[in-house]
Chain A
């Protein structure tokens, strides 16, 4: 059992997430397009490549690195049978995200986030609730363009987070930020596809490893 869990950590890319995406895919999905100069958040400046006629362009080389780390982390959590929660407050993509979560076998919360969902879970849901082991933010802002409450709550409850941060978001508290566009439908479909493939791959590998172990 120990060997089952520790063996994947020795490989740099056990689930081969690098082959799931390329720079051209990111560019074609318009992941590099940010908001206008006035909306820029100060902490996103290191991730921005430049400004073309007042519109921020995100540095896709950095996005590639961040995306690879984030997908790798997600895959490892899924391999260890962790609970993953997709969070987003974009009404345009709420159905897409819920469908992705259902296909992965994981969970999604794309509606209004009540105050004590994570911090007051034992009273809201009853004693002995298991909290999610990873939160994936496909858009880290809520409908009033402020940081989603769940980012702060996950940091409080010591739950790691993976999040797509646009040029107007605060990437400080997110464990594995992915600088990229969160407004285009093509970009969101790409992220959903990548996360779904990573999670399904990890779960299949886990089943294979367990089957091999049982045979021995």
Chain B
């Protein structure tokens, strides 16, 4: 009843082969099958040490040409009007339709580069898909106006909130003396 339990030395096959050669075990079931169809890498134990020094990512990132269009689409319109239906295998999202339309118009070549994005939006509107802009594109002169209008709107909102809170407090003060009177009244009776 011999055996070799040293899993960190060699592979299962090499250890069994050596034991067979000595003659201390009989041939196991899987030995011939392994010899006929060995794996692509011999299963030898390796110490999992982390990489030291300058850590380079060995794996490439996957990016496509269409990713530029997709990035712009998501920045302008947010995630599309319809959600993704992952249970269907051939589900085409709004973004994918947008990208395909963009490349169609680009190949036709009649529209300029800068206007292609807006033209694709219009073409999709024509085919029935409504796209809602998420936020305005950042254009320099409009920024100050936007900030001012936003600040004034917030100020107005704050004022209205304060008025409402004051009204509520006055309302509560009126109610509590009434409650106190109501409580006093039934007790003597």
B4 on the A face (CB < 8 A) = yes
Closest to A160 in B: B30
With A69-B39, A73-B37, A119-B5 in contact, do A158 and B15 touch (Cβ < 8 Å)? yes
Q: In the complex, which of the residues B16, B29, B40 contacts A80, with contact meaning CB atoms closer than 8 Å?
A: B29
Complex contacts, B4 vs chain A, CB 8 Å: 158
Taken residue by residue from 70 to 92, chain A's Cβ proximity to chain B (1 for < 8 Å, 0 otherwise) reads as 00110011001010000000000
B63 to chain A, nearest CB (A): 8
A66 on the B face (CB < 8 A) = yes
A52 on the B face (CB < 8 A) = yes
Q: In the complex, which of the residues A65, A156, A170, A172 contacts B40, with contact meaning CB atoms closer than 8 Å?
A: A65
Q: Is the CB of A9 within 8 A of B39?
A: no
A197 on the B face (CB < 8 A) = no
Q: Is the CB of B32 within 8 A of A9?
A: yes
Closest to B1 in A: A122
Taken residue by residue from 52 to 65, chain B's Cβ proximity to chain A (1 for < 8 Å, 0 otherwise) reads as 00000111111100
Within 8 A of B (CB), among A108-159: 119, 133-134, 152, 155-159
Closest to A11 in B: B36
- How many residues on the A side are at the interface (Cβ–Cβ under 8 A)? 42
Within 8 A of B (CB), among A40-81: 40-43, 45, 48-52, 56-57, 65-66, 69, 72-73, 76-77, 80
Complex contacts, B33 vs chain A, CB 8 Å: 9, 73, 76-77, 80
- How many residues on the B side are at the interface (Cβ–Cβ under 8 A)? 36
B23 on the A face (CB < 8 A) = no
Complex contacts, B43 vs chain A, CB 8 Å: 155, 172-175, 177
Q: Is the CB of A42 within 8 A of B89?
A: no
A28 on the B face (CB < 8 A) = yes
B141 on the A face (CB < 8 A) = no
A35 to chain B, nearest CB (A): 13
Within 8 A of B (CB), among A159-212: 159-160, 170, 172-177
Q: In the complex, which of the residues B39, B48, B49, B58 contacts A175, with contact meaning CB atoms closer than 8 Å?
A: B39
Q: Is the CB of B37 within 8 A of A76?
A: yes
A43 to chain B, nearest CB (A): 7
The CA-CA distance from A14 to B33 in the complex, in Å, is: 12
Within 8 A of A (CB), among B101-138: none
Q: Is the CB of B59 within 8 A of A50?
A: yes
The CA-CA distance from A87 to B56 in the complex, in Å, is: 35
Closest to B47 in A: A172
Q: Is the CB of B59 within 8 A of A45?
A: yes
With A43-B46, A156-B5, A159-B12 in contact, do A72 and B37 touch (Cβ < 8 Å)? yes
The CA-CA distance from A77 to B50 in the complex, in Å, is: 37
The CA-CA distance from A175 to B16 in the complex, in Å, is: 13
Q: Which of A134, A172, A177 has the most CB of B within 10 A?
A: A172
Q: In the complex, which of the residues B16, B57, B63 contacts A158, with contact meaning CB atoms closer than 8 Å?
A: B16
Complex contacts, A96 vs chain B, CB 8 Å: none
Top 9 A-B pairs ranked by shortest CB distance?
A155-B7, A50-B62, A52-B62, A156-B5, A9-B36, A76-B33, A82-B29, A133-B29, A175-B43
17 contacts across the A-B interface (CB closer than 8 A): A9-B37, A40-B59, A42-B51, A43-B46, A48-B59, A51-B57, A69-B37, A69-B39, A76-B33, A76-B37, A80-B33, A82-B30, A156-B5, A157-B5, A160-B34, A172-B43, A177-B43
Apart from A51-B60, A152-B7, A158-B15: 9 A-B pairs, beta carbons within 8 A = A65-B40, A133-B30, A156-B5, A158-B3, A158-B12, A158-B16, A172-B46, A173-B45, A175-B34
Please give the residue numbers on chain B whose beta carbons come within 8 Å of chain A beta carbons, in ascending order.
Answer: 3-7, 11-13, 15-16, 28-30, 32-34, 36-37, 39-40, 43-46, 48-51, 57-63, 89
